Amino acid sequence: MRPRIGVTASVRLERSGVRRVFVNEPYLRAIEAAGGVPIVIPPGHEPETLRGLYELLDGLLLTGGEDVAPERYGEALLYPDLVQVVPERDATEFPLLDRALADRLPILAICRGVQVLNVKLGGSLYQDLARDRPGAFPHNQAGTTPRHEPTHPVTVLPGSFLADIVGAEQLLVNSLHHQAIKALAPSLFPVAYAPDGVIEGVEATDPAPSAFLLGVQWHPEELVGHDPPARRLFDSFVAACQKPR
């Protein structure tokens, strides 16, 4: 049986007045290509519904998207013009992640996902890299470079779980984020950095052999077509979801 992997979606109010659930297709295709069955998890469910969905899952993919509400890491909203929050998405992903962590479900956290993971475990975020972290280079290639093209290198910590998986200590990655990890959660370890020092990858400090817990700030789902390390990331995640819990 192919492992079933929850892929978190978002919701927005369209100009027509309808509220529409959406998720970027490359996440679904990357899971499928690695041998998994993607199950889209929209925000806004009642707890009982969410529990029902959760019970279907062998793994959890936290996707990219909007910003985590700053109150979740104890800060006031600094830039209402830049920080885009979807409270119902937070309200779905945080409890989902809580259960997945408790059950040691394999978790791959991408972009916003790694930010959700860090905040859930007690860390904080730069609300806007350009304003809050002088010296950070542009990390958002949207509008200038296609999403599937790398724009900056990352250095991967030798000997880390991530290095094992991708099989490299230098990667070229895409970059589509305006926020990043500020204070790292105590139970996470930084395993990849951009040249400006921004944390681009995290894993658990005490990985149990059965657990897969990895977060990356870039978008491997957009790279899998031409980037073997990105493909290995999805392959090993889906393989981890295949193991009986």
Binding mask 32-51 for Mn ion (x = CB under 5 A): --------------------
- By CB under 5 A, tell whether 112 contacts Mn ion: no
Determine if 175 is a binding residue for Mn ion (CB under 5 A): yes
The answer to whether residue 152 is catalytic is no
Spatial separation of the C-alpha atoms in residues 202 and 125, rounded to whole Å: 14
Task: In angstroms, give the least distance from the CB of 116 to Mn ion.
Answer: 17
Mark the segment that binds Mn ion (CB under 5 A) among 37-45, 59-67, 132-140, 222-230: 132-140
Is residue 148 part of the annotated active site? The answer reads no
Q: Which of 45, 120, 139, 219 binds Mn ion (CB under 5 A)?
A: 139
Residue 29's nearest CA partner among 5, 53, 52, 10 is 5
Based on the shown chain and the rule CB under 5 A, indicate whether residue 178 belongs to the binding site for Mn ion. Answer: no
Question: Catalytic residue among 93, 200, 203, 221, which?
Answer: 221
Minimal distance, residue 2 CB to Mn ion, in Å = 32
241 is catalytic: no
Q: What is the sign of the dihedral through the CA atoms of 198, 68, 121 and 103?
A: negative
What's the CA angle centered on 90, arms 87 and 92, to 5 degrees? 110
Q: Nearest distance from residue 90's CB to Mn ion, in Å?
A: 22
Residues touching Mn ion, count (CB under 5 A): 2
Catalytic residues, which ones? Answer: 111, 219, 221
